[in-house]
Amino acid sequence: MLIKRRQGWEAPGRDVTPEAAFFGRRAVMKGAGAIGGALGLGLSLSPALADEAPPPGIPAAAMRFKPGRALTAERVAETYNNFYEFSTDKDMWRLAQKFPQRPWSISFDGMVEKPFTIGIDDLLKQMQVEERVYRHRCVEAWGMTVPWSGFPLAKLVALAKPTSGAKFIAFTSDENPKVMPGLDGFMPWPYVEGLTLAEANNELAFIGTGLYGKPMPPQNGGPIRLITPWKYGFKSGKSIVKVSFLEKQPKTFWAELGPDEYGFWANVNPGVPHPRWSQAQERLIGTDQVVDTQIYNGYGEWVASLYAGMPQTRKLFM
Ligand SMILES: Nc1nc2c(c(=O)[nH]1)N[C@H]1C(S)=C(S)[C@@H](COP(=O)(O)O)O[C@H]1N2
Ligand SMILES: [Mo]
């Protein structure tokens, strides 16, 4: 039985509704129940770390992007997920246990010297895997801090050899109707997300192939996903099967579904509210803590220069 508990951030008139609001009242009610359910797991964490000493089992190098927060409990990060191909419920992890992770291959197309397809294990052999602790900020006003493993997206770009006309990169997620009951008729599947090539080559942009020192769980986007910690979580497409290099900005899943609420850029900004809720604060999942959200999710030091020449409008932050 899921119980909806009133949280500190649920001030009257500040109606934080999951993205599922698009799919009608029933989906919204289910989403709200799932939030209560995850909080009901009874896990708690110590307050945010004062320094950047690595938590047990985490290499010091993984802390170089200064997470500044305690790690989210592993079980929480792996049982409270958004993966709409399966379900709009946060506890879709059960369904994902049947999602085959091998064989898996990723194709590269569009503006590249030569299109090709590579198996995940061949790809992993070519990459030096490292660990990084990043904050993750969902547009639904929750956050987590987790140790990902993987490699810089720039390395994947280099492998693909884009031609000089390529300005954007698009990531397509797998569509597997055998195991994904959420692939219904009216959402614009497959899930596609994109970045500019300059963003993709930024050192923060990361390809995740593991979490908490294990292979990436299917519910978190195994075997391979994108991680762009300065942007809202919906930018980080899961379970990627295709990487395309383009001259023009790609049409993305969320921008197609709700163009007034979700855009291409989606850079985190506490000062730009979502049309239906504030982005000023975030709830740290698995805890009772609510913390202030930071511009670029606190990663401005690494990414603000990407946007310096652009008009600083709402569009950049939705
Ligand atoms: N293919 C696909 N990728 C996706 C999503 C999705 O529904 N489908 N949800 C996104 C959203 S909204 C978030 S917050 C993150 C959640 O990642 P996590 O479950 O590992 O926390 O995945 C993103 N990537
Ligand atoms: Mo999200």
Q: What pLDDT is stored for residue 186 in this prediction?
A: 84
At 36 the three-state DSSP class reads: helix
Q: How far is the CA of 143 from the centre of ligand 2 (A)?
A: 9
Question: Closest Cα to residue 283, out of 3, 27, 12, 36?
Answer: 36
Strand, coil or helix: what is 87?
A: strand
Residue nearest atom 1 of ligand 1, based on CA coordinates: 238
**Is the pLDDT at 43 greater than 90, yes or no?**
no
Question: Is the pLDDT assigned to residue 66 strictly greater than 50?
Answer: yes
Digit-coded pLDDT (tens) for 133-184:
999 999 999 999 999 999 999 999 999 999 999 999 999 999 999 999 999 8
Neighbours of 270 (CB within 10 A): 17
Q: Is 82's C-beta closer than 6 angstroms to any atom of ligand 1?
A: yes
The confidence band for 52, taking pLDDT boundaries of 50, 70 and 90, is confident
- Which two structure tokens, joined as six digits, stand for 117? 């397809």
Interatomic CA distance for residues 257 and 188, integer angstroms:
7
pLDDT of residue 51: 53
What pLDDT score was predicted for residue 184? Answer: 84
Nearest CA to ligand 1 atom 5: 83
For residue 113, the CA-to-ligand 1 centroid distance in Å is 30
pTM of the shown model: 0.86
Q: How confident is the model at residue 185 (pLDDT cuts 50, 70, 90)?
A: confident
Nearest to 116 by CA among 105, 124, 129, 125: 105
pLDDT, one tens digit per residue, over 219-257 is 999 999 999 999 999 999 999 999 999 999 999 999 999
Q: Which uninterrupted H or E stretch holds 200?
A: helix 197-200
Residue 288: both structure tokens together: 């009772």
- Ligand 1 pocket test target in 23, 83, 235 with most atoms within 8 Å of CB: 83
- Report the C-alpha gap between 258 and 84 in whole angstroms: 15
Counting ligands in written order, the one closest to the CA of 92 is 1
Are 70 and 48 in contact by the 8 Å Cβ rule? The answer is yes
What topology does CATH give the domain 8-317?
A: Sulfite Oxidase; Chain A, domain 2 (3.90.420)
Distance 265 CA to ligand 2 centre (A): 14
Q: Could you please report the per-residue DSSP string of 92-115?
A: THHHHTTS--SS-EEEEEESBSS-
User: Mutation test of ligand 1: which of 17, 88, 140, 234 has the most ligand atoms closer than 8 Å to its C-beta?
Assistant: 234
Gap from CA of 239 to ligand 1 centroid (Å) = 10
